[in-house]
A and B are shown apart, each in its own frame.
Chain A
Amino acid sequence: MPLWWPLLLASLLFAIGVYAVLVRRNAVLVLMGVELMLNAVNINLVAFDAHLRDQLHGGQTFALFVIVIAAAEIGLALAIVLLVFRSHGHIDVDRLRSLADRDLDPSTSSGHRKLDRPEVRR
């Protein structure tokens, strides 16, 4: 099997992942994009491992590492998403603007806050 097949697949997956991370508004779908990117890298690792016939199979080992880290990452991230949902009532990434640098003027900041959390805790 030529090398460029898995590489093509990996770059397609990575591009889809980047697209999802950058564009999707749903936080869960953003996380799915992250997973896609991670797994695209995994494919790369495994493909090069096979292509280079590495005696120690470093590529496969790294892929396992990445899977473990991805599992941990998704666990943590889903917990964050859950908390965001509980506190904000939505998981729309576009509307989560609390980190924006804005004036300390109380009127404007309160306006933002209203935008941020329209309905807190039903």
Chain B
Amino acid sequence: MNALLLLLVLLPFASAGLTFFAGHRAEVATKGLSVGASGLGLALAAIVAFPRLGDAEPIGQVYASTSAAGPSIELSLYVDQLSAVMLLLAHSVAFLVQVYSLGYLGDDPRYPSYTALVAIFTGAMGVVVTADDLWLLLVGWELMGACSYFLIAHHWELPVARAGAVKAFLMTRTADLGLLFAIILLGIRFDSYRISTIMSGILEGGFARDELWVPAMLLTIAVIGKSAQFPLHTWLPDAMPGPTPISALIHAATMVAAGVFLVARTYPLFLSAPMALNLLAGVAALTMFLGALYALFSDDLKRVLAWSTVSQLAYMFGALAIGAYSAGILHLLAHGAFKALLFLAAGSVVHAVGSTSMSSMGSLREKLPDTFLTMTLGFGALAGVVPLVGFFTKDAVIGASLDAARDGRLVWPWLAWVLFVSAVVTALVTVAYCLRAWLLVFFGAPAPSAEPALTSEPAPRAEPVSLRDASSLGSSGQATEVAAIQESPWSMRAPLYLLAVPTAVGGLVVAYPDLLLGSEVEYEPLHPDVAVGMTILVALTAGVVVWAARRHARTPWRVPVIPHPQVDRVYDVALVRPVRRLASVVRAGDRDVIDAYANGAGSATRGLGWVLRLAQNGNVQGYLMVVVVGAAALAVAAGVLA
């Protein structure tokens, strides 16, 4: 089992290496490798993870360790219930994304590097969720940041893609400093970098309340950056120029989920330091509403989903902040399923329409029946419609926050109330924006066939696909117009249906949570009063939105230009401009001081050479004259001095 675990962690990297090697030389091999390796990874993850679910004992293994000074840094893996479900989530979404990418990006000239980076991304997430050593976790954590940079900048011809990639990288990297310092502090404090040792030390150590607030706060900063919470939330929507499968991977299973995972992994630390939990709760309460608000008024389908991710992640952090550990984790899993579904379905829509702007969509219900069905399930789950998975997990989070507001001891009661109110209001806003996006995309009048407006992602080769489909249809004897909106190839539809299954029936897990996370976790999955109340409110909101949509012809409400909180400007003034100014000073110093010496040495040598080459005139007798005169001078000098 331990060897299998190591194999599971290393497999994605090996497949990425092979994919890079095969590259364009053998495109079929590249595709087979990437999909096959991710499928194998999923199988291995299932073998490793399923025995660990429920009440099983966690497994851990130290494969290698350093013997340098200080606490030893180890290559050690550890799989408990949390790691197991995260492994399953990451590898299943990665597998589906690889299959989906066959149809979505299979003809892309950068497909080999893309698919290799997806594999590395998955492998990095595998390292993060199984690492038992904090430094190993940091390696995976940073590797994900680097991969997200490369993948967001997949269409690097576009300035907006480059800018989004740089922004994502810089913001997450800045927040990662928190993780780095937290690791160092924890290592000094506990004389070990092993997470399980540190956590059991905290559980047994009898620390005073908030005694460990510094590393907890630093970790909070790190996860705020990685999971795009309030002050650092702007990178996630700006990462939308990346290919849609990447968005699915980042939003559902890997990058942003790693932040939630880190809090869950180091949960004893957070429980011992409620100050960090207060910060987390406040950030979550603010972020969930803010994200939903921006999703409500965005015209870009992918941006709606991105803002909804920001908002839903805040739900998870809210749940973790008030001590509802399993509610947060279950919402993370549910969100992983339905957000991957939503993004892949959105990719299918974008693939068919050739634009991400919702004003160029409309009445796609009949043209894209499979996408319509699956995306309806996804939106329903996101909005929290009764039998779908999102309903149960969101209900668990809201119910837990109500409990915490009534008699919680972890965070300040007023903050828990704020969190509860924000969660309820956000849930209703979520219903509104889901319904709006759903109506705009699949109902209403067909979009005026104007040229696509500003889109966040370039249309993924609309022409080759439609041409290929047209030729295949033409060969079967049907005439079709080239630009017709058609359903995507099977490789893109199959993942949608596969993801629709957990989205539809995943709520059953909430009824038996100990199957997944073990029975140690105190947890009340169902809050009937909250569930009934929320369902009534959701229905009312949906009614209002539908009424508004009928009243106005096309869009339920006018999209006002709401000012974005000026956090980007604050960053610009506080960080970007000083750094630029410093950079220009450094550049001037380099050019005018350091380079001056280097250039001076060069030009001095050149001048001296110019003088010396005057003597090199080709006249042999002249050379000899110099020799003779020199010899005579030496002889005279020798005679005089001697």
Contact = CB atoms under 8 A, between A and B. Distances in A.
Interface string B372-409: 00000000000000000000000000000000000000
Interface string B589-630: 000000000000000000000000100111111001100100
Interface residues of B, number: 10
A98 B619 CA distance: 9
B618 A22 contact: no
A100 B625 contact: no
Contacts of B625: 22
A83 to B, nearest CB: 16
Contacts of B616: 99-101
Contact of A98 (B613, B618, B624, B628): B618
A101 B613 contact: yes
B70 to A, nearest CB: 60
A101 B609 CA distance: 11
Contact of A93 (B613, B617, B621, B628): B621
Contact-residue bracket for chain A: 10 to 19
A23 interface: yes
A6 B616 CA distance: 38
A96 to B, nearest CB: 7
Nearest to A30: B621
Given A18-B628, A22-B628, A94 B617 contact: no
A23 B619 CA distance: 11
B628 A97 contact: no
Contacts of B618: 96-101
Contacts of B613: 101
B617 A21 contact: no
Given A18-B628, A22-B628, A97 B617 contact: yes
Contacts of A93: 619-621
A97 B623 CA distance: 12
A94 B621 contact: yes
Contact of B619 (A18, A21, A94): A94
B498 to A, nearest CB: 70
A23 B622 CA distance: 9
Contacts of B624: 21-22
B642 to A, nearest CB: 20
A98 B616 CA distance: 11
Nearest to A101: B616
A42 B602 CA distance: 50
A17 B618 CA distance: 21
A22 B617 contact: no
Interface string B549-571: 00000000000000000000000
A49 to B, nearest CB: 23
A21 B628 CA distance: 11
Interface string A73-97: 0000000000000000000011011
Nearest to B628: A18
Contacts of A100: 616-619
A23 B618 CA distance: 15
B628 A96 contact: no
Contact of B621 (A22, A98, A99, A101): A22
A100 B625 CA distance: 16
A30 B624 CA distance: 12
Contacts of B628: 18, 22
Contacts of A22: 621, 624-625, 628
Interface in A12-66: 18, 21-23, 30
A97 to B, nearest CB: 3
A96 B617 CA distance: 10
A97 B619 contact: yes
Nearest to A27: B620
Contacts of A101: 613, 616-618
Nearest to B609: A101
A97 B622 CA distance: 11
A14 to B, nearest CB: 11
A9 B620 CA distance: 27
- Tell which of B617, B621, B628 has the most Cβ of chain A within 10 Å: B621
A21 B623 CA distance: 11
A22 B621 CA distance: 5
A98 B625 CA distance: 18
Contacts of B617: 97, 100-101
Contacts of B620: 93, 96, 99
A1 B635 CA distance: 28
A72 B620 CA distance: 21
A31 to B, nearest CB: 12
A21 B624 CA distance: 8
A18 B618 CA distance: 19
B93 to A, nearest CB: 63
A78 to B, nearest CB: 16
A100 B617 CA distance: 4
A25 to B, nearest CB: 8
A101 B618 CA distance: 7
Nearest to A25: B621
A18 B631 CA distance: 12
A112 to B, nearest CB: 9
A30 B625 CA distance: 13
A110 to B, nearest CB: 16
Interface in A92-117: 93-94, 96-101
B633 to A, nearest CB: 14
A21 B617 CA distance: 17
- Tell which of A18, A98, A101 has the most Cβ of chain B within 10 Å: A101
B465 to A, nearest CB: 57
- For the complex of A and B, 7 pairs with smallest distance between CB atoms: A100-B618, A97-B618, A101-B616, A101-B613, A99-B618, A100-B617, A22-B625
9 contacts: A21-B624, A30-B621, A93-B620, A94-B619, A99-B620, A100-B617, A100-B619, A101-B613, A101-B618
Interface of B: 613, 616-621, 624-625, 628
Given A30-B621, A93-B619, 13 more contacts: A18-B628, A21-B624, A22-B624, A23-B621, A93-B620, A94-B619, A94-B621, A96-B618, A96-B620, A99-B616, A100-B616, A100-B618, A101-B617
